[in-house]
Chains A and B, each alone.
Chain A
């Protein structure tokens, strides 16, 4: 009897201890149920939802604002956390299966070429130097920061894109959109092509990775102000070639690589900030500081982001004037890469959040970038926006997730730039016909 009483008291103590433990240390129990990033990207376990990660405290459909942001803080970028505290509201969205995020030929290339990438200089090659990477994510599980950044740059799930219209909103600290600039972008990837023929490398473009045109379409004063840029395969061997067309003078002049550090028509975005990170890699040291689950912008919004003309839909809500679009956010596995510039730079550091394979969106492989000034103080947050899931040419065997825009917020001044982009990836474009100096001339006045 005495032994039974002791056993009962011990059971009660254990149960009580477990109850106290589960209340005050929820992660301890949850930790056992949460899959690792490695297992998720290997396909061994399903990706957790925010509900799984927060133990049910935050569910899909819930709103996260400054009052409950601590519940999801570890899944936000540093800048995002600050923005929520300042008034941004996040809706918890629904992730899609990874095979719905990018064209299957891109995924097939990743699988087919897995393990064959070697990093030489700043670029991946297929088994040995000289063999240009044929396409797909080169390092599905990156071992270092440069490999993770190569996954983003050389593992783009588009072979070309045309983005129009683009509306660049200038939003002041009061949340007023006081100025808008229109743009159009045309990009053609010349190697690593997996969706549009010619696959692999376009003949004649062995050392060229990208050709791009970016041109202002309004207001009238800058209509036609455009850039033509060639990014070579290994930026350590060949630096960018750039030209700018000045419509006020009807002249095309050569530009220098410093342009990457300058802002785009006075906005909060520099040319190097675009898409999360556009600076040539050879000017940076990268370090993989970790990988984790993070809240990234959802691949498919329940309401349209754009209308049939590619203009922002009136259904998109905002908080604090036009500062913060209220969008959906989902859990994805992310490599966290710290970049420190080797050259004289306006920035002291960038922390780039690179989405891990297979959860790579067609529009971009970067979820967000935290940008620090030279005193290492947090300066800007850059967030990519998606929300559009579609089928290329209506073919349901060709899913893709284009970009919808980017928010760049200057945390030190409260000024922000919202770039709404009607991004059309994998449209048929030719590097000779569609991306040349003559195009700048045509689009200029």
Chain B
């Protein structure tokens, strides 16, 4: 009988777990094998760490871009995460002070319903140099031709990508923070106010410590998501520098099948970084 109790949650999870293990496990095995140069269709059957070595030492075509891409990926992911965390905190605190019920969360959820792909196409339609805003500005005579519109998307500094993620992740993080704030009683805040704490002091010493664990694990999730996602940098980025997932697919789809090893190696490096971040995030949320 005792066995049953120990096994039952695992049994209930088994169908999902088995599927995930088979599907994810098989592709992971193939991925690792290809990154080690095992590409059976062209008869490449010797294990080698060449791809990883080339990436780390910056040799070869993929290698020459790797460190730059890694730095660019980190810049975009960290900047987007920081900006959206700070703004989400402000939005959430402001909303929780309004105490207005569910209307505001509906507004936040509305944005979440858009897939990233759709959102970035919408940004392109509005903000690119041939976009709606540029055309309106030109027809109103603010600028002489649509092409004079400032370059907000597809720029070398990833501003467009950051703009996309900030506008998508603020609602996500704000909802997380709001969930924490709304489950707390207003007592702490009132006590602090009674003791003469200013608005800023209450935010700094009462609200922030309360939401910090949730905000931190949420931010780490956001970071991991941005760091590993493909479609937004592919649509809103430039040819160089490229974020790591874009670089990985470029080499995975190279006409020369031997280049797949490079693409896979980059993918696995992304995976490892994301896993580390996810584990830290998990630890943080357990601590709370």
Tell whether A and B belong to one assembly. Answer: no
Show the binding face of B for A, using Cβ within 8 Å: none
